[in-house]
Structure 1
Amino acid sequence: MEKEHLLGKTWEELQAVVAEAGMPRFAARQMAAWLYDKRVTDLAEMTNLSLRHRDQLSQRYDVGRSLPMQSQRSVDGTIKYLFRVGDNDFVETVYIPDRDRATLCVSSQVGCKMNCSFCMTGKQGFRRNLTSAEIINQILSVEHSDQLTNLVFMGMGEPFDNLDEVMKALTILTADWGFAWSPKRITVSTIGHLAGIRRFLDESHCHLAVSLHSPYPAERLQIMPVEKAFHMDDILELLRQYDFSHQRRLSFEYILFSGFNDDLVHADALARRLRGLDCRVNLIRFHAIPGANLKSSDPRSMEAFRDRLNHHGVTATIRASRGEDIFAACGMLSTAEKERK
């Protein structure tokens, strides 16, 4: 029988494990410290638990750690990792060093249901949700794990389509008994899942990023079928109900496609859409993927778009393109491995 993982369990769940095993209540805090502070990989390393209790736990549980099966290193220092999850599924995790910052981009699903036309992960279709253990394992099992300064849920999958497990992971990351990270170190990206946004903003203080990619709903629908379910107008109306002026940051992701959404008319329309929201816009250059007719915007157009937004009072920056020599687009490495298998 496959063992249950202790990694990814919340404080309450660890207390339940301890109670069921007949262990003293303080053992839950000891286990949390071993898992999330000392970052052990085996139950035998939890040496302040009695040998009897460790043996008892090992009959049903393991820690749940696993190393990536392969990695690719870019000339710019970016490292893309491939993790096996389950028997024949794979997810990607990307380490991005940048001067005094070290950011890890993690996945939340195997594949994705959203089928955005510019996304390789969407072309895989949906396989399954990752567990909180599989999410946390990505963070603990890459090189330089202890040097991370920031975390972004922008890898494979839609985080709010796996809301319960993602929220569990966020709790573990920010709780004093877990990683004790400041929520300001974490950003979660969404296509605009309304119920997910609402719960996330009510229960978390982490930053939020929303994928927009056009100021026009009909045009957005052409590249993001999810516009049918989660209308741009409804997303913006919901966001206007929350205060983003202090601890939490709101940003919009906007991939620029040549001849589609990268002219100044679009920039003006986007500024009108976002008027009154305390936010920023991250402009992203498109990494071409097989089967997509969209093309990358040229640097001059991207700079003009950025400058136009800034002129309108909307803070806009161009995200540096990283890892272009190592399957830069998310989902390409896992697709290649799946096809090889």
Structure 2
Amino acid sequence: MVKETLLGKTLEQLKEVASVNGMPAFTSKQMADWLYVKKVTDIQQMTNLSVAKRDALSLKYEVGRKEPAEVSISQDGTKKYLFETSNGNFIESVFIPDDDRATLCVSSQVGCKMNCLFCQTGKQGFSGNLTANEIVNQIFSIPESDQLTNLVFMGMGEPFDNTLEVLKALEILTAPWGYAWSPRRITVSTIGLIPGMKQFLEHSQCHLAISLHSPFDKERLELMPAQKAYPIEKVLEIVKKYDFRHQRRVSFEYIVFDHLNDSMRHARELVRILKGIPCRVNLIRFHAIPNVDLKGADNERMVFLRDYLTENGITTTIRRSRGEDILAACGMLSSSKQSPENEI
């Protein structure tokens, strides 16, 4: 019998577990405390539940924690963790220590449907959505779990192509009954899938990051096929309807390619389209991937873009590259590995 996992369930779902097993509603908060605060790995560790309740739950449920299958360690201290999913696929998440910050880059899908030209994950293809259990497990099951200061949903997959499970995970991570993190510590990145993005903006106060990469429609379409269905102009219209001046922040991710999106023409258009949006632009160095004829811009062009945008009222930073030697840098995550029973 395959047991149902408790990790990844919201409080309402835990209330349902209590109800169908003939337990009082307050049992759900007890379970949530054990799962998300005390981080137990076994139902029998939930010692304020009676032995009879624990035994009854153990017949049909398990906590659902799973340790990483592998870890790769970069010379700069970055660690890439490989996790096996419930259906025998694999996903990667990346731990990035940096002075007083410790960030985990979390995956939301096995592979990705978006097929952006510059991204290795998209070249892998799409194998499935992660459950809230598999998302939260990445955070809870690495050795550095208690050191984390920030989470970024910038790993494998498009979070808003898996909106319901991502929102469940965010609820668990930020709710008072759950992990109780401030939403300010979490950023969710998207290429601009409008339906999911709107749900996120309505139901979460976490930060939003939008992959931009070119301010011009035709050029962005060549880089990102999703531009056809969700043009950046429409994405920005949605963003402008929400308040980003207080708790929530919006940022724009911009991979800088040599002689493709690094000119004065691009800089001026970025200033134009982002005018009136309180935001930050993160300039990202391109990391070469196989069979893609793109080249990253040199440092001079990166600095030019940063300075021009900043001088024109848009706070802009150059993101420091981390973990390139273990294929853990931006756009490099990919795991086509399979468990033995799934290999052909």
Residues 73 and 326, structure 1, Cα contact 8 Å, conserved in 2: yes
What per-residue deviation string (whole Å, max 9, x for no partner) do you get for residues 138-177 of structure 1? 0000121011110010000000110000000000001000
TM-aligned CA deviation for residue 88 of structure 1: 2.8
Matched, 1:106 2:103: no
TM-aligned CA deviation for residue 336 of structure 1: 5.7
Given residue 168 of structure 2, which amino acid in structure 1 is its aligned partner?
K
- C-alpha distance 101-311 of structure 1, shift in aligned 2 (>3 A): same
TM-aligned CA deviation for residue 86 of structure 1: 2.5
User: Residue 85 of structure 1 corresponds to which residue in structure 2?
Assistant: 85
User: Residue 160 of structure 1 corresponds to which residue in structure 2?
Assistant: 160
- C-alpha distance 257-180 of structure 1, shift in aligned 2 (>3 A): same
TM-aligned CA deviation for residue 337 of structure 1: 3.1
User: Residue 144 of structure 2 corresponds to which residue in structure 1?
Assistant: 144
TM-aligned CA deviation for residue 335 of structure 1: 3.2
Given residue 120 of structure 2, which amino acid in structure 1 is its aligned partner?
M
SS at match of 2:65: coil
SS at match of 2:77: coil
Looking at structure 2, the residues matched to 308 and 56 of structure 1 have their Cα atoms a distance apart, in angstroms, of 64
User: Residue 46 of structure 1 corresponds to which residue in structure 2?
Assistant: 46
User: Residue 122 of structure 2 corresponds to which residue in structure 1?
Assistant: 122
User: Residue 311 of structure 2 corresponds to which residue in structure 1?
Assistant: 311
Looking at structure 2, the residues matched to 322 and 312 of structure 1 have their Cα atoms a distance apart, in angstroms, of 28
Residues 110 and 127, structure 2, Cα contact 8 Å, conserved in 1: yes
Looking at structure 1, the residues matched to 330 and 63 of structure 2 have their Cα atoms a distance apart, in angstroms, of 28
Superposed counterparts of 1:27-38, under 5 Å: 27-38=27-38
Question: Which stretch of the first structure deviates more once superposed, 255-264 or 215-224?
Answer: 255-264
Residues 156 and 330, structure 1, Cα contact 8 Å, conserved in 2: no
What per-residue deviation string (whole Å, max 9, x for no partner) do you get for residues 1-24 of structure 1? 211100000001101101111112
Residues 101 and 149, structure 2, Cα contact 8 Å, conserved in 1: yes
Q: Give the TM-score normalised by the residue count of structure 2.
A: 0.96
Matched, 1:287 2:287: yes
Looking at structure 2, the residues matched to 38 and 60 of structure 1 have their Cα atoms a distance apart, in angstroms, of 22
SS at match of 2:96: strand
What per-residue deviation string (whole Å, max 9, x for no partner) do you get for residues 208-242 of structure 1? 00000001011000010000110111011111111
Given residue 213 of structure 1, which amino acid in structure 2 is its aligned partner?
H
SS at match of 1:160: helix
TM-aligned CA deviation for residue 125 of structure 1: 1.1
User: Residue 7 of structure 1 corresponds to which residue in structure 2?
Assistant: 7
TM-aligned CA deviation for residue 333 of structure 1: 5.9
Runs of 5+ consecutive residues of structure 2 not aligned to the other structure: none
Residues 124 and 334, structure 2, Cα contact 8 Å, conserved in 1: no
Looking at structure 2, the residues matched to 331 and 35 of structure 1 have their Cα atoms a distance apart, in angstroms, of 32
Given residue 187 of structure 1, which amino acid in structure 2 is its aligned partner?
T
Residues 7 and 64, structure 1, Cα contact 8 Å, conserved in 2: yes
Looking at structure 2, the residues matched to 217 and 83 of structure 1 have their Cα atoms a distance apart, in angstroms, of 37
Looking at structure 1, the residues matched to 253 and 306 of structure 2 have their Cα atoms a distance apart, in angstroms, of 13
Superposed counterparts of 1:211-290, under 5 Å: 211-290=211-290
Count, aligned residues: 341
User: Residue 210 of structure 2 corresponds to which residue in structure 1?
Assistant: 210
Looking at structure 2, the residues matched to 334 and 212 of structure 1 have their Cα atoms a distance apart, in angstroms, of 21
User: Residue 21 of structure 2 corresponds to which residue in structure 1?
Assistant: 21
Looking at structure 2, the residues matched to 21 and 302 of structure 1 have their Cα atoms a distance apart, in angstroms, of 59
Given residue 248 of structure 1, which amino acid in structure 2 is its aligned partner?
R
SS at match of 2:310: helix
User: Residue 56 of structure 1 corresponds to which residue in structure 2?
Assistant: 56
CA RMSD of aligned residues (A): 1.5
Given residue 5 of structure 1, which amino acid in structure 2 is its aligned partner?
T
TM-aligned CA deviation for residue 48 of structure 1: 1.2
TM-aligned CA deviation for residue 329 of structure 1: 4.0
Residues 111 and 334, structure 2, Cα contact 8 Å, conserved in 1: no
Looking at structure 2, the residues matched to 88 and 264 of structure 1 have their Cα atoms a distance apart, in angstroms, of 48
Q: Give the TM-score normalised by the residue count of structure 1.
A: 0.97
Identity percentage over the alignment?
Answer: 61
What per-residue deviation string (whole Å, max 9, x for no partner) do you get for residues 84-109 of structure 1? 11343111110011111111110000
Question: Which stretch of the first structure deviates more once superposed, 78-87 or 31-40?
Answer: 78-87
Question: Which stretch of the first structure deviates more once superposed, 179-188 or 293-302?
Answer: 293-302
TM-aligned CA deviation for residue 124 of structure 1: 1.1
SS at match of 2:162: helix
